[in-house]
A = this chain, B = another copy of it.
Amino acid sequence: MRNFKYFAGAVLALIALPSAAHATVPEESAYIFNTLLFLIGGFLVMWMAAGFTMLEAGLVRSKSVGDICLKNILLYALACIMFYMVGYNLMYNGVDGGLIGSFGAWGADDAAALAEDASFGANYAASSDFFFQMVFVATTASIVSGAVAERIRVVPFLLFTAVLAGVIYPVVGAWQWGGGWLSEAGFADFAGSTIVHSVGGWAALSGVIILGPRLGKYSSSGTPKPMPGSNLPIAMLGTFILWFGWFGFNGASQLAMGTAADAIAIANIFTNTNMAAAGGTLAAALLTGLIYKKIDLTMAMNGALAGLVSITAGPDTPSVGQAVLIGATGGLIVVFAVPFIDRLRIDDVVGAISVHLVCGIWGTMAVPLTNSDTSFAMQATGVGAIGAFTLVTSAATWLVLKYTIGIRLTDEEQEKGADMVELGLEAYPEFGHGSQKFGV
């Protein structure tokens, strides 16, 4: 049938048809390729939710493991619902150089968006784009949970997540990816070193400060007490999941796969993403080996993530060697940032602020090194504007929650552990901690 249409319309034309003409991708094929990119990228980014969960579950003490698991699955679910109900349209619908889009649920008044687009005008299935953007917002929310772990209550944490996923992130996203003022001004943030990672990092920073450190974390003189993670192999697993998922995060942010040029760009992005992570891992490991005479495992994990965050603002323009260096610099930064933040008595359980905020800023500022279409001043403007907005709105949200329903587990509750207090269970009832608890 398809052939018939073709023949009927083009018999004469085809006599002379040059080979170049035949080489190109038909519009409908491009439509499928583009949609497929969003779907593959989307499921990879969705899988990052498991990565954050495992990373955080491995790095908290065993009495908070169930609680952090619960927060992570609920925040993912809630972020999806909020982005559907409010966020997507706020971020994308009618921003047009402005500050925000419109209010309303996505697709609710637009059934046509979900039906076949016979003209292929949009170049991809509407819901494939929605799916991909939706899993991004969950990443932002996941960043916060690790920083505030072990002493925040579940309910206020979820309310904060709702505001972050429904309003704060979409507004910032509208400025750039929605076609708002920042994108018009020339800010560059390919896959979200700033828009996703530093937004998550600012939200985490304000939360940690307002919430205060875990019980017993700092002595009266400010010396931090080590509180080692209870299950390092699952933290390692989480790191690998994030590394794996990041190919979707950065690669599918090309937003199209319907031409050879897009395919080349995506392949370069995959390669650079991997190399930046490799550079970050090795740099952090090497530096901790030199400083502490022992390689620090959790710092190697954070180095990998630091490399990934650092390349995310511009994974498409660096050469492979430049990508290694951008990632390695991120890895070095994180080795200094983690103890520095700890010395300020900012108790970030998993190092999320160092990884996502500090390296998110570094990655964004590094873009002009390899991309002449942008400038340090413009990048700084974006970092500053988004940082200020996120910090103010996040802090306001945390403060409202603090002085209304309360956000912090009491000292007694923290001693018992978030799992017993909030969930009434233990994550590992038969292991060491359990034995201790049950007097075995």
Residue A243 at the B interface, CB < 8 A? yes
Knowing A3-B22, A32-B25, A115-B264, say if A46 contacts B274 (CB, 8 Å). yes
Cβ–Cβ < 8 Å partners of A169 in chain B: none
The answer to whether A264 touches B35 (Cβ under 8 A) is yes
The answer to whether B130 touches A32 (Cβ under 8 A) is no
A:39-77 near B, CB below 8 Å: 39-40, 42-44, 46-47, 49-50, 53-54, 57-58, 61-62, 65-66, 69-70, 72-74, 76-77
Q: 1/0 per residue A8-49: CB within 8 Å of B?
A: 011111111111111111111101110110111011101101
The answer to whether B275 touches A84 (Cβ under 8 A) is yes
The answer to whether B266 touches A35 (Cβ under 8 A) is yes
The answer to whether B10 touches A285 (Cβ under 8 A) is no
A:300-346 near B, CB below 8 Å: 300-301, 304, 319-321, 324
The answer to whether A258 touches B9 (Cβ under 8 A) is no
Separation in Å of the A422 CB from the closest CB of chain B?
Answer: 7
Knowing A236-B57, A430-B433, say if A5 contacts B21 (CB, 8 Å). yes
State A15–B270 Cα separation when bound (angstroms): 40
State A135–B228 Cα separation when bound (angstroms): 32
A:110-144 near B, CB below 8 Å: 111, 114-118, 120, 124-128, 130-131, 134-135
State A324–B80 Cα separation when bound (angstroms): 10
Separation in Å of the A249 CB from the closest CB of chain B?
Answer: 11
Cβ–Cβ < 8 Å partners of A228 in chain B: 425-426, 429
Number of this chain's copies in the assembly equals 3
The answer to whether A422 touches B294 (Cβ under 8 A) is yes
Residue A185 at the B interface, CB < 8 A? no
The answer to whether A236 touches B53 (Cβ under 8 A) is yes
Contact of A21 among B10, B24, B243 (CB under 8 A): B10
Contact of A108 among B20, B281, B321 (CB under 8 A): B321
State A230–B65 Cα separation when bound (angstroms): 12
A:134-190 near B, CB below 8 Å: 134-135, 154
Separation in Å of the A8 CB from the closest CB of chain B?
Answer: 8
Knowing A69-B233, A297-B70, say if A270 contacts B428 (CB, 8 Å). no
The answer to whether B428 touches A78 (Cβ under 8 A) is no
Contact of A432 among B72, B125, B267, B430 (CB under 8 A): B430
A:390-440 near B, CB below 8 Å: 422-436, 440
- Most chain B beta carbons < 10 A, residue from A32, A42, A251, A424: A32
Which chain B residue has the least Cβ–Cβ distance from A8? Answer: B21
The answer to whether B7 touches A237 (Cβ under 8 A) is no
Which chain B residue has the least Cβ–Cβ distance from A11? Answer: B17
The answer to whether B73 touches A281 (Cβ under 8 A) is yes
The answer to whether B261 touches A295 (Cβ under 8 A) is no
The answer to whether B422 touches A282 (Cβ under 8 A) is no
Knowing A32-B33, A73-B301, say if A431 contacts B429 (CB, 8 Å). no
Contact of A73 among B5, B275, B300 (CB under 8 A): B300
Which chain B residue has the least Cβ–Cβ distance from A58? Answer: B233
Contact of A128 among B39, B125, B131, B267 (CB under 8 A): B267
State A95–B388 Cα separation when bound (angstroms): 56
Residue A208 at the B interface, CB < 8 A? no
Which chain B residue has the least Cβ–Cβ distance from A236? Answer: B69
The answer to whether B35 touches A427 (Cβ under 8 A) is no
The answer to whether A131 touches B267 (Cβ under 8 A) is yes
The answer to whether A425 touches B14 (Cβ under 8 A) is no
Which chain B residue has the least Cβ–Cβ distance from A7? Answer: B17
State A28–B128 Cα separation when bound (angstroms): 23
State A280–B2 Cα separation when bound (angstroms): 38
Other A-B pairs beyond A46-B243, A294-B423, 8, CB < 8 Å: A31-B263, A38-B267, A50-B237, A66-B297, A125-B260, A125-B267, A125-B268, A428-B431
Pairs A-B, 9 closest by C-beta atoms: A50-B240, A128-B267, A125-B267, A23-B27, A77-B278, A13-B16, A77-B281, A431-B432, A13-B17
